[in-house]
Amino acid sequence: MIKAEHLSKKFGDKAAVNDISFTIHTGKVTGFLGPNGAGKSTTMRLMLGLASGEGVTLFDSKKLRDYAKPSDLVGVLLEAKAFHPSRSARNHLKILATQGGVPLSRVDEVLDIVGLKEEAKKGPGKFSLGMSQRLGLAAALLAEPKYLLLDEPANGLDPEGIVWLRNFLKSYAENDHGVFVSSHLLSEMSQLADNVVVIGRGKLLADTSMKGFIAGNVGTSVFIRVDGLEKFMAFLDKQKVSYIKKSGGLELDKAKTDFVGKLAYQAKVPVLELSMKTASLEQAFLEVTAGTEEYQGREIKK
Amino acid sequence: MTNELKAEFKKVFTIRSTYIILGLMLILVIFFGFYVGGWHSQKLDLLDPYRLQTIAKQAISFLSVFSAILAVLLFTHEFRYNTISYTLTLSNSRQKVLLAKVITVGVIALVATAVAGSLTPLLANWGIHANHLHLVTQHFYYLDLLWRGLVFGLGYTMAGLVIAALIRNQIGAIVALLLIPTTVEGLLSIWLKSNTVYLPFSALHTMLGAGTDIQKASLAPIDAMYVFLGYLAFSGAIAWYLFIKRDAN
C-alpha cells in the first residue's frame, strides 16, 4: 500500500498542493482526477521525491529512498516525451534498465509488451504522442514494479491503444500490483479505476471507491414518457411526488423504475418510455470540482 | 552506485553529439599537432627547446573546452528532455547520481587530456620532419606537464559541470562556459589588471602556463591551482546543494 500523508507544496505564496493525504491499494487501480492546474502532477512528483515539499509518502511503510532498488517498487510515467530524441528507444530503455539494476533482456520484453519492438532502433524524437506514451509505459514496466504511477498515460493513444491500456492496467493491478493513474478522460477512467482520488486547487476533494464517489455525488433519476402527460402529472401532484417536466416527459429525482412504473399503472396512463438515468463519473466530477477550476474557458458569443 | 555509474557512461556514449564532439576533438588534435605545431612551424619556434611541451599544453588548454561542453551536455540533457525524473526515481540517492556524473565526466576529461597532451607533440614532431624542418633538442618536464595538464583538463571539465548544475538550461550553460573564461574575465581584467590571476579560469590558465600573457603574472602554478580549486570547491558545494534540494524539472 502507498500512503501519501499531508503532502503540501507551495510555489511562492500559492499552495499548489495543500495537505493532501490518500492511500493507494494493491490489487486496485486508483484514478487520480482533478481539473487542469489542480496539482495532480505536482502531487505525483512530491510522492516520488522529485519535488521538495512537506509531507511523506510511504511505499509499504518505507520511504522510496530507503529501498536499495526503488525500481522494484515503483515504475513511473510522468511525461510522455521524457527521452533524448536521437537516442534509440532500445538504448533509452537500456540506460534505465542499467540504472534500475534490471537485466537488459527485459528491454526487448517490454518493447514487445507495448508494441514498439519494430521501432526499437529508431530515435523517439519523431514518435507520435501515442508511441511516446507506449515508450514511457515500457520504461515504467521495466522492473515489473509493485506500483505504477502514471500521469495521463492514455493521452494520444488511439482507441485500440486505450482499450489495450485499460485491459493491461486492470490485469496488472489484479496481479497484486497497485496502479495510480491520472487522466482527464473521465469515461475511460470510469471503466478503469476501482478507487478515485479527486483534488481541486491543491486540496483533496475525495478519496473513495469509484462507485461510492459517483453515488455519493450525483443522485439517480428516472425518466418517463406517457400517453396522457397532464393526467399523469395531476396524479403525481395528488400523490405528492415531485417531478421535473423534461423532453416531453417527466424526470423523477432519486426514484427507481419499478416505483415510477407502478405509479403510471395506478394513474392508468400507457407508458411510452421508462428509463433509469444513471449518474456518470463526469457528472460526479463536475459536481465535486465545481468552483475549483484553475482555468475556465468562455463561450464564443454569436 | 555501480548501476548509476554504468548508466551515466551509457548516456554519454548513446548520443550523436558525443561522437561529433569527440570526432571534432580528434580532427583538431591532428590539425593542431601535425599542421599548426609541426608542418607550419616558424623558424623561431624550431629553436625553442620547450616547443613540443608548449604545444601539448596549448592543445590541452584548447581541447578541454570540448570535454567541458560534453559535461554540460550530459547534465543539461537530463533537464532539457526531462529524463531526470527517471534518473532520480531509479536511484535511492541524488548524491549517488551526481557523484556518478562527476566520475563519468572526470574520466572523459582525463582520457581526453591524456590523448591531447600525448598525441599533439608526436604529431607536431612528425609534421616538422615531414616538412624537412629541423627542431632543436627538446626538453620535457614530464611530471610537470602531467600534473598541470590533468588538473587543467579535469578542472575545466568540472567547471563545465558546475556551471551546468547551477544553470541547468543547456544553451545558458554553454554560453556561460564560453563567455566566463573569455569575455567576462577579459572585461574584469581591465579593472583587476595583475590581480586577474585570481579569477578562476585565469588562475587555471596560469597554472597550466601554456604561453599566454597571464603566465607572466606573479602566481606560482601550485598557488594558481589552489585559487582555481577554491572557486571550484565553493561553486561545486552550491551546485551540489542545489542538485539535492531543487525540484527536478
Taking 60 as the threshold, does the pLDDT of residue B217 lie above it? no
Interface membership of A228 toward B (CB under 8 Å)? no
- Closest chain A residue to B94, measured at CA: A65
Predicted confidence at residue B216, as pLDDT, reads: 55
Interface membership of B245 toward A (CB under 8 Å)? yes
Pairing of strands A249-253, A29-33: unpaired
The answer on A231 and A170 residing in a single domain is no
Four-residue CA torsion sign, A157, A161, A166, A172: negative
Q: Which three cell numbers stand for residue A45?
A: 512528483
Q: Is the whole model's pTM more than 0.90, yes or no?
A: no
The answer on A151 and A13 residing in a single domain is yes
The answer on A230 and A186 residing in a single domain is no
The answer on A129 and A257 residing in a single domain is no
pLDDT bin (cut points 50, 70, 90) of residue B213 is very low
Taking 70 as the threshold, does the pLDDT of residue B1 lie above it? yes
Cβ pair B17, B73 in contact under 8 A: yes
Cβ pair A219, A257 in contact under 8 A: no
The answer on A125 and A7 residing in a single domain is yes
The answer on A175 and A269 residing in a single domain is no
CA distance A102 to A299: 51
The answer on A129 and A102 residing in a single domain is yes
Classify residue A101: in a domain, yes or no.
Answer: yes
Beta-carbon separation of A52 and B247 below 8 A: yes
Beta-carbon separation of B85 and A83 below 8 A: no
CA distance B106 to B71: 9
pLDDT bin (cut points 50, 70, 90) of residue A164 is confident
Beta-carbon separation of A70 and B91 below 8 A: yes
Question: For all residues of chain B together, what is the average pLDDT?
Answer: 89
Name the residue with cell 590571476: B197
Taking 50 as the threshold, does the pLDDT of residue A53 lie above it? yes
The answer on A206 and A253 residing in a single domain is no
Taking 50 as the threshold, does the pLDDT of residue A298 lie above it? yes
* Residue that wins the pLDDT comparison between A183 and B21: B21
Q: If contacts are CB pairs under 8 Å, which of residues 132-151 in chain B contact chain A?
A: none
| Domain total of chain A | 2
Q: Which of A271-275, A287-291, B124-128, B159-163 has the lowest mean pLDDT?
A: A287-291
The domain spanning residue A245 has which CATH number?
A: 3.30.70.100
CB half-sphere exposure, A166, CA atoms < 13 A:
18
Taking 70 as the threshold, does the pLDDT of residue A219 lie above it? no
Chain B residues with CB inside 8 Å of A70's CB?
Answer: 89-92
Interface membership of A10 toward B (CB under 8 Å)? no
The residue among A161, A192, A210 that closes a domain is A210
pLDDT digits (tens, 9 = 90+) for A83-137: 999 999 999 999 999 999 999 999 999 999 998 888 888 889 888 888 899 999 9
DSSP letter at A62 equals B
Beta-carbon separation of B247 and A82 below 8 A: no
Predicted confidence at residue B215, as pLDDT, reads: 46
Beta-carbon separation of B3 and A99 below 8 A: yes
- Alpha helix segments (H runs only) across chain A: 40-48, 70-73, 89-100, 105-113, 129-141, 159-174, 186-192, 210-217, 229-239, 257-267, 281-289
Interface membership of B249 toward A (CB under 8 Å)? yes
CA distance A79 to A41: 9
The answer on A105 and A239 residing in a single domain is no
Given B3, B93, B249, which is nearest A65 (Cβ)? Answer: B93
Predicted confidence at residue B200, as pLDDT, reads: 92
Classify residue A293: in a domain, yes or no.
Answer: no
CA distance B105 to B107: 5
CB within 8 Å of A162: residues ≥ 6 apart: A154, A185, A188
The answer on A206 and A225 residing in a single domain is no
Q: Which helix (H) or strand (E) holds B62?
A: helix B51-80
Given A52, A85, A98, which is nearest B7 (Cβ)? Answer: A98
pLDDT digits (tens, 9 = 90+) for B44-78: 878 888 888 889 999 999 899 999 999 999 999 99
Classify residue A294: in a domain, yes or no.
Answer: no
In 3D space, the residue among B52, B41, B26, B212 whose CA is nearest the CA of residue B116 turns out to be B26
Predicted confidence at residue A36, as pLDDT, reads: 82
Interface membership of B11 toward A (CB under 8 Å)? yes
In 3D space, the residue among B148, B181, B147 whose CA is nearest the CA of residue B68 turns out to be B181
Predicted confidence at residue A59, as pLDDT, reads: 93
pLDDT digits (tens, 9 = 90+) for B98-145: 999 999 999 999 999 999 999 999 999 999 988 888 888 888 888 888
Optimal mutation site among B84, B86, B94, interface A, most CBs of chain A within 10 A: B86
The residue among A183, A210, A237 that closes a domain is A210
Predicted confidence at residue B18, as pLDDT, reads: 92
Classify residue A40: in a domain, yes or no.
Answer: yes
* Residue that wins the pLDDT comparison between A218 and B119: B119
The most distant pair of C-alpha atoms in chain A lies apart, rounded to whole Å, by 76
Beta-carbon separation of A99 and B246 below 8 A: no
Question: Exposed, middle or buried by CB within 10 Å (0-12, 13-18, 19+), for A189?
Answer: buried
Predicted confidence at residue B210, as pLDDT, reads: 65
- Closest chain A residue to B247, measured at CA: A51
Cβ pair A249, A277 in contact under 8 A: no
Classify residue A226: in a domain, yes or no.
Answer: yes
Predicted confidence at residue A301, as pLDDT, reads: 67
Predicted confidence at residue A83, as pLDDT, reads: 92
Four-residue CA torsion sign, B132, B137, B142, B148: negative
CA distance B245 to A53: 10
**What ipTM was assigned to the predicted interfaces of this complex?**
0.86
Question: Exposed, middle or buried by CB within 10 Å (0-12, 13-18, 19+), for B156?
Answer: buried
Chain A residues with CB inside 8 Å of B245's CB?
Answer: 52
Beta-carbon separation of B86 and A96 below 8 A: yes
The answer on A257 and A146 residing in a single domain is no
Q: Which three cell numbers stand for residue B230?
A: 577554491
CA distance B248 to chain A (A): 5
Angle between helices B170-179 and B51-80 (to 10 degrees): 160
Classify residue A183: in a domain, yes or no.
Answer: yes
pLDDT bin (cut points 50, 70, 90) of residue A154 is confident
Taking 70 as the threshold, does the pLDDT of residue B201 lie above it? yes
Predicted confidence at residue A292, as pLDDT, reads: 67
Predicted confidence at residue B28, as pLDDT, reads: 92
pLDDT digits (tens, 9 = 90+) for B3-54: 899 999 999 999 999 999 999 999 999 998 899 888 888 888 788 888 888 8
Q: CB pairs below 8 Å between A and B: how many?
A: 89
Chain A residues with CB inside 8 Å of B16's CB?
Answer: 86
Predicted confidence at residue B214, as pLDDT, reads: 45
Cβ pair A205, A198 in contact under 8 A: yes
Interface membership of B93 toward A (CB under 8 Å)? yes
The domain spanning residue A78 has which CATH number?
A: 3.40.50.300
The answer on A95 and A11 residing in a single domain is yes
Interface membership of B89 toward A (CB under 8 Å)? yes
CB within 8 Å of B74: residues ≥ 6 apart: B8, B11, B12, B101, B104, B105, B161, B164
CA distance B211 to B60: 12
CA distance B107 to chain A (A): 19
Give the structural domain span for A274.
Answer: 220-278
